[in-house]
Structures are given as C-alpha cells and as structure tokens.
Structure 1
Amino acid sequence: MRYDVIIIGAGPGGIFSAYELTKQAPDLKVAVFEAGHELKRRKCPIDGTKTKSCVGCDSCSIMSGFGGAGAFSDGKYNITNDFGGSLYEYIGKNEAIDLMKYVDDINMEYGGEGTKLYSTAGTRFKTVCLQNRLHLLDASV
C-alpha cells in the first residue's frame, strides 16, 4: 500500500501528528509504524525479587510501544514553558502555551474528562517554598 505520510513511532508525538493530519487533511493516507509491543503485551520483566535490573529486552516495554514512555504514567501533563522543552524558542511563548492547551483539550476529549487542572501559582505551598528559599516552578498540571 502507498501512503502520503509515514510516521515512525507511536509515542505522543507520533500519535498527535497522526491525529492532526487526519483532522486537517482527511484525504491523506497516514501510516504509523511502532517497533514496540501493543499495550496489552507491554510488561517489564523487572519484578524487584527475581529480576532486579534491566535485562536488555529487544523492545523495552517501558520506553517503546503505543503511547511511548508515558503510556503507563499517572497522566500528568504540564502546561508551561518553564521546563520540559524549548518549543517556545521557535514559535513564541504564548503560541507554545496555546498548543499545549490544545493538546490538553484533546486528552480531555479522549479519556481525561473529570480530571482537574492544578496550578502551583499563588498557592500556600508556593509561599512556604519561597520562605525556605526553594524555587518552585509555576505550571498548570
């Protein structure tokens, strides 16, 4: 089969690229190729008792597969320019925040409904950190 676009990797970047392409240009034939296992087959052999360290699997179930390393995370998504990358250097800080909010809206639409947005800005926790000379980065999470 012939494709207009081939995406290598079904981590968050690959998944969102495919999503955007199918929304913006539905006539494109898009394929996503992932070397890792499907979610139901992803299991790390490290169990803490018999296997205590990495055994060098051909396809790491923690890092590879649909959803990437975040597939088994607790689902936090940070909306900030203060850490986690430098996209804002290329498109501007406001534009980067707008894109992060757009991605968050999609996450909410596909299984994130009911979650709550938290922020460290203006909180008692932030005040206590500052009083103890700790710099707490502001982020909506």
Structure 2
Amino acid sequence: MQNILSALEPARPDRTTALTRGVTRLFLDMGLSPLCEFRLANGRRADVAALDRRGRVTIVEVKSCRADFDVDEKWPDYLEFCDRYYFAVDPNFPRDVLPSAEGLIIADEYGAVISRIAEERPLAAARRKAVTLRFARQAALRAFAPPLSA
C-alpha cells in the first residue's frame, strides 16, 4: 500500500532545489568544488557532482520524496563516473528504502550532513581524466554563458 501511495505523491522540484542548495553548501564547506546538473558521457545528468583537491569525483542524486526514489531506475548509471556516490534526502525521508551500500546525506535548504560515508570506488586514470575534462568544460561554459533572456 505504501508503494502505491508513494507513487501517487508528486515530485517536488522546489524541494529538490532546496536540498541541492544544502548539498552544495556542505561541499563548499568541505573544500569541494560542486557543479549542479552535471551531464555525463552516457547522457545522464547528475544532480550534483563535485571535485576535491585530489581530483576525486563525488556524485549526489537528490531525492525530494519517496516517489522520486521509487521511479528512479537510472541511478546505477552514475556509478561508473565517480569515486563516491551519495543520495541526498531531507530528514523525513524513509531511509530504509535507500541502498545501504551507497552514501547518505541529510539536507535542507541551509546545509547538509553526511549520515553515511560513501564507499570509495576509485576511477581508472583514463576515466578520471575524461570526467574531469568534462567537468571543467561544463563549468567554464556556464561561467561565460550569456544570461538567459526573460
């Protein structure tokens, strides 16, 4: 019954935006460089990706509600593009439904905390270079993109 009800619960883009803001604030406090809506080579788009000072890549998938997680079958496609993978959810999210092998961040619009550290899966050197170059190019293009007109 719970799965049926959660499937009817609408996605909450405003909540996703708030949780993403909290995750990026956490990463900035940790000395990581975050990039939202990072497009991967496989066509997927990670909610948040971040590089640390050693060049390690972290990807975070933000889940605004149970229904958002229940319908998501794409999250394993991100694993081959990062050293660490996290789910970010709000404090009321039912954590028992999330895969225990992945990291967990509890977030709100003001900040976030790491509740469960992600398993380290080091990228191969060639993959790390490709992901890092893609990250740098997307960040640079955003920095110099003309503003969108209304």
- Per the normalisation by structure 2, the TM-score is 0.22
The structure whose residues are more often strand, as a share, is: 2
Higher radius of gyration, 1 or 2: 1
- Per the normalisation by structure 1, the TM-score is 0.23
